[in-house]
Structure 1
């Protein structure tokens, strides 16, 4: 059975490479219009080329590219408004973008590095949810996929900032899931 997402709208963060890139490609191949969000314009353009080539072959999938650094909280806030203005709803959120930071003893991690990990991995995820939650609720089948890591469940040496950020995201998501039941 092939998943048909024709007529569905999806936001994918971290869409210029890795998991986000392939999630965006697969959602588009299933027929979704993908709003691809990432800092790296070149990666977004490559993704767009792939989605257009697939569309030419199958007639499925489209993309809108949004070059956005998720440290730009005002930009995240504007994203929800822009989606509402153009499409009126959102069906799928894939919050994938994250930064690892440094693998280092916690006492050696600079404040700037720690704050960046928390900003990108936790705070931007919260702002993204705050921005698009009303749009997901307008969908007849709104879904959110929030990426995490097994680092959230292990206390490995030298991984404290990243592990703490992913544990925070998972707890925040479980709470949000209960709120939306």
Structure 2
């Protein structure tokens, strides 16, 4: 168990085809978990599965779907119950910025704004609703939500993205308070500056080599996913030489 702290745990990673979600899924698999990976892109999920198989000799379960499809989220819970009867770990990494994510609020396209809202906020509510019974069936359910610094420090042109991330963060905190007496623990992780596609979209002039690679977050995610530890509600990275918890 020292070498494989997540041996035989069932871990769902939403948004696993690239970036932090990809690296988290790979780290959880290397720690012994069976990974259920979801994303919009089949090709990205297959690349992840190849990496997991190369590292562990085992395949992940791949479920391609779009988070704007609320019915698919509802069906996800049923499918996980039919196959595994429980869920030990849920990592919510998926989020989009879109063109409206960096647009003046008054100029945002209605359809584009609605897609960001459905993906970044409403999907989190629907996932909580779909997955809570499965997490309750675990002896130590762990939910990890990836947030952004703009959720707590919004700024010009980030309206849609900042508002939906802030809303989802508040939702997770309310839920964490509701499940305090259960065996589920929720953690909100602000990873700070990381070399992701979303960050490259937001800061196109930034040199990628100046930003830390998302693989660095893997050990932390494994630690937060462990059932034998009591995780903090919030973990914030401002400087990777020090971790602030609260």
Indicate the residue corresponding to 2:88 in structure 1: 91
Indicate the residue corresponding to 2:118 in structure 1: 119
TM superposition score normalised by structure 2:
0.70
Q: Which ranges in structure 2 are unaligned for 5 or more consecutive residues?
A: 181-246
Q: Which ranges in structure 1 are unaligned for 5 or more consecutive residues?
A: none
Indicate the residue corresponding to 1:161 in structure 2: 160
Classify 1:92/1:112 alpha carbon distance in 2 versus 1 (closer, same or farther; 3 Å): same
Q: 1:100 aligned to 97, 110, 116, which one?
A: 97
SS at match of 1:10: strand
Structure 1 distance, partners of 2:4, 2:76, is 27
Contact map agreement 2:39 2:45 (CA 8 A) in 1: yes
Contact map agreement 1:16 1:37 (CA 8 A) in 2: yes
Root-mean-square deviation (CA), in Å?
1.1
Q: Which contiguous aligned blocks of 4+ residues in structure 1 show a shift greater than 2 angstroms?
A: none
Contact map agreement 2:10 2:88 (CA 8 A) in 1: yes
TM superposition score normalised by structure 1:
0.95
SS at match of 2:35: strand
**Map 1:167-178 → 2, pairs under 5 A:** 167-178=166-177
Contact map agreement 1:15 1:38 (CA 8 A) in 2: yes
Structure 1 distance, partners of 2:154, 2:85, is 42
Structure 1 distance, partners of 2:154, 2:125, is 24
Contact map agreement 2:96 2:119 (CA 8 A) in 1: yes
Q: 1:104 deviation in Å?
A: 1.2
Q: Select the structure that is richer in helix.
A: 1
Indicate the residue corresponding to 2:75 in structure 1: 78
**Map 1:16-165 → 2, pairs under 5 A:** 16-56=17-57, 62-102=59-99, 103-165=102-164
